[in-house]
């Protein structure tokens, strides 16, 4: 029998699974694993995404975890820079590599690097970073001396990392410790003794899908594919990967919509009690990015442009009852929250309490100012 639940129950369950209600005492690497990574192109947002899920923390938790190899930083889902736990990073990266984007004619035409050039680049970078940490320029200086790679220096200097991302997905490189404002690169096995390697895609898929459903379920396989990299994988491939979970997978109905969940979580979801818990989440938070800003159950469609802004910027959000009900920004010592009028009465006390919690995280007194977003 298919279990039927409401979206309000789903939101309450997800808030718990994503360590937002209640906030706990897990170490940062466990938080990152639970969230299937934390987007990290904005370092301060990544740090905040971890710390808002900790009852007690000190600044620099991410940096310390990177230093001692409990985390790695690399290009992963959607081509974005992420923090990943090296113990399970390979499963996500393997699926990214399985898309073989760098072999597609459109990619070759746009970026001018054939699959043969990319294979040479992979080998050259892997050898250069064997036991080493190199800056971008140091790495380029080595690579362009290799036959057939003399012309790739300019492309490698791009801050977007277009030619390097496929190498990250293949487990050939990740980011190393920064040298001031300079980026460095190394190999995952150099960055962390906990690096578990790269499973084959068919072995990686059930691991990654189970992790995704454990944080963002109930969900469809299409949602999983979009979270990974949009439309790279066809429905047949996604369904085949889901089928590999076998009896571990269950179907539920969420207000009449069919979705998938791990069977071990069905009873817990069915017993979830909706609530109005309020959280201030930083920009690029996984609570929003996991289902995606196009998911109208999390981000009201009329407010998507307030959350997903130009140049790929994802706003800090006010979440109430598991739904995005506003945005916020820290302006000096003021938390300026903008509440969506259609979300109902403003929970001023709860937002004020969250501002106090934010004050503890940033290490200074702040006060909340709350306004209404234009209709």
User: Would you say residue 367 lies in a domain?
Assistant: yes
Clarify whether residues 118 and 220 are in a common domain.
yes
Do 256 and 298 fall into the same domain? no
Listed as own residue / partner, the contacts of 157-161 with beta carbons closer than 8 Å and 24 or more positions apart are 161/75
Q: Is residue 285 part of a domain?
A: no
pTM given for the model: 0.96
Shared domain for 114 and 146, answered yes or no, is: yes
Residue 236 DSSP class: H
The candidate with the shortest Cα–Cα distance to 354, out of 62, 54, 52, 58, is 52
Report the domain count for the chain. 2
Question: Is there a single domain that holds both residue 189 and residue 307?
Answer: no
Note whether 234 and 368 are same-domain residues: no
pLDDT means per 10 residues in the chain (375 residues)?
A: 96 98 96 98 97 96 98 97 98 96 90 93 97 96 95 84 94 94 95 97 97 98 95 91 96 98 98 98 98 98 96 96 98 97 97 96 95 91
d(CA 197, CA 89): 8
Nearest to 242 by CA among 213, 275, 269, 209: 209
- Among residues 80, 68, 278, which one has the least CA distance to residue 193? 68
Residue 300 domain-assigned? Answer: yes
**Residue 282, in any domain of the structure:** no
| Pair (360, 232) in one structural domain | no
Q: Does 192 reside within a domain? A: yes
For residue 288, tell me if it sits in a domain. Answer: no
Domain ends where: 244, 274, 304? 274
**Residue 254 forms part of a structural domain:** yes
Q: Which range of residues forms the domain containing residue 226?
A: 1-274
**Are 240 and 368 within one domain?**
no
353 domain-assigned: yes
What pLDDT sits at residue 161? 80
Q: Which of 231, 247, 274 is the last residue of a domain?
A: 274
Question: Same domain for 129 and 86?
Answer: yes
């Amino acid at each position: 029998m298919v279990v039927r639940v409401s979206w309000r129950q789903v939101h309450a369950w997800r808030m718990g699974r994503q360590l937002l209600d209640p906030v706990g005492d897990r170490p940062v690497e466990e938080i990152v694993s639970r969230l299937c990574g934390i987007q990290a192109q904005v370092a301060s947002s990544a740090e905040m995404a971890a710390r808002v899920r900790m009852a007690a923390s000190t600044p620099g938790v991410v940096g310390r975890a990177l230093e001692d190899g409990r985390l790695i930083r690399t290009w992963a889902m959607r081509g974005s820079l992420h923090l990943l736990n090296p113990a399970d990073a390979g499963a996500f990266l393997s699926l990214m590599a399985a898309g073989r984007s760098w072999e597609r004619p459109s990619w070759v035409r746009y970026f001018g690097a054939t699959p043969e050039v990319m294979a040479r680049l992979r080998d050259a970078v892997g050898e250069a970073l064997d036991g080493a940490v190199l800056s971008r320029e140091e790495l380029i200086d080595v690579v362009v001396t290799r036959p057939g790679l003399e012309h790739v220096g300019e492309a490698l200097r791009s801050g977007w990392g277009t030619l390097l991302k496929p190498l990250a997905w293949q487990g050939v490189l990740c980011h190393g410790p920064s040298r001031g404002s300079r980026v460095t690169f190394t190999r995952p096995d150099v960055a962390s003794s906990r690096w578990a390697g790269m499973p084959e895609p068919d072995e990686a898929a059930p691991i990654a899908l189970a992790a995704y459903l454990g944080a963002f379920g109930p969900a469809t396989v299409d949602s999983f594919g979009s979270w990974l990299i949009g439309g790279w994988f066809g429905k047949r491939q996604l369904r085949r990967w889901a089928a590999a979970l076998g009896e571990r997978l269950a179907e539920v109905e969420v207000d009449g919509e069919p979705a998938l969940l791990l069977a071990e979580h069905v009873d817990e979801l069915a017993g979830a009690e909706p609530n109005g818990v309020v959280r201030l989440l930083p920009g690029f938070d996984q609570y929003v990015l996991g289902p995606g800003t196009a998911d109208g159950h999390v981000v009201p469609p009329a407010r998507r442009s307030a959350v997903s802004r130009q140049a790929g910027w994802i706003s800090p959000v006010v979440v109430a009852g598991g739904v995005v009900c506003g945005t916020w920004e820290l302006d000096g010592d003021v938390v300026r929250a903008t509440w969506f009028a259609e979300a109902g009465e403003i929970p001023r006390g709860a937002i004020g309490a969250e501002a106090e919690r934010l004050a503890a995280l940033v290490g200074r007194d702040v006060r909340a100012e709350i306004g209404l977003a234009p209709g």
